[in-house]
Amino acid sequence: MDEYLMVKGIVCPLCQTKFNTTKVKTTKLRMTDRDTDFCTYYKDINPYFYEINVCPECGFAFSDSYTHSIMDEKADQFKKEISSKWIRRDFGGVRDMDQAIETFKMAITSGEITGAKHSRLAGLCLRLCWLYRMKGDKDEELRFMRWSVKLYEKAYQLEDFSGEKSMDIGTVLYLLGELNYRLGEYESASKWFNIAITKLTNAPEVSASKMAMIRDRWQDIREDIKRVL
């Protein structure tokens, strides 16, 4: 194991197997750049490669923030659809880009079968989109960006973000504006930034810094959008 990585013990939330996986030492992370949709670049090591834990016994793939318990019927469905065909594989150790991509696809499938929230699936699709960006695969980057947008839209319609620590309404609306802009969907981008600014100004749950970020980004791109629409 090199100087950037460490071994962490994990318990599978689906089958309760204990296994080891590799994580990046956060003290070693040096951020070098960040895109406007939050895709972040680090020197020497890519922590996204190690974000997903894959249970070697049952094939369930999940991030560290996956803490809610899985309903029995959903667990049974996963065992029937995935575990029954799963041939034991260990994703511990050092991962490359293609293995990292595979783990995110497995996490999306795992989440879909076990009833993960739309916002969680949207976040997984967005990270997968970033990995394809880093790989230089534009078609796949845009495919997962579109998928992420659809899921964030559903999340906005159906989910309550008031008690969420990992995702807030300001970030969801910002991403809906930003990702639509990146996809060239300028009318939708304009719609979502307008919703964000109208709905969230003076909303107590959205911080002043997040509001400033939304306004600044809208300021930056609205002239560009106006020229086209």
Q: Provide the binding-site residues for Zn ion, judged by CB under 5 A.
A: 12, 14-15, 17, 55, 57-58, 60
Minimum distance between the CB of residue 61 and Zn ion, rounded to whole angstroms? 9
Q: Report the C-alpha gap between 204 and 211 in whole angstroms.
A: 11
Shortest CB 113 distance to Zn ion, Å: 13
**Cβ atoms 144, 183 nearer than 8 A:** no
Nearer to Zn ion, 37 or 51 (CB): 51
Number of Cα atoms under 13 Å in the Cβ half of residue 143: 8
- What sign does the dihedral 188-190-193-198 (CA atoms) show? negative
Question: Is the distance from CB of 172 to CB of 152 less than 8 angstroms?
Answer: yes
Name which of 60 and 132 has its Cβ closer to Zn ion. Answer: 60
Contact between residue 153 and residue 131 where contact means Cβ atoms under 8 Å apart: no
CA neighbours within 13 Å on the CB side: how many for 26? 2
- Dig out the tokens for 15 from the structure: 């089958």
**Please, which residue, 88 or 227, has the CB nearer to Zn ion?**
88
Closer residue to Zn ion (CB): 15 or 142:
15
Residue 53 CB, shortest distance to Zn ion, in Å, is: 10
> Length of the chain in residues, anyone?
229
Residue 15 or 197: the one with the smaller Cβ distance to Zn ion is 15
What whole-number distance in Å separates Cα of residue 17 and Cα of residue 128? 26
Query: CB of 74: closest distance to Zn ion in angstroms?
Result: 13
Q: How far is the CB of 60 from Zn ion (least distance, A)?
A: 5
Start-to-end Cα distance in the chain: 53
- How far lies 159's CA from each of 105, 131, 164, in Å? 23, 27, 10
CA distance 32 to 42: 5
Tell me whether residue 8 or residue 146 sits nearer to Zn ion (CB atom): 8
CB of 34 to Zn ion, least distance (A): 34
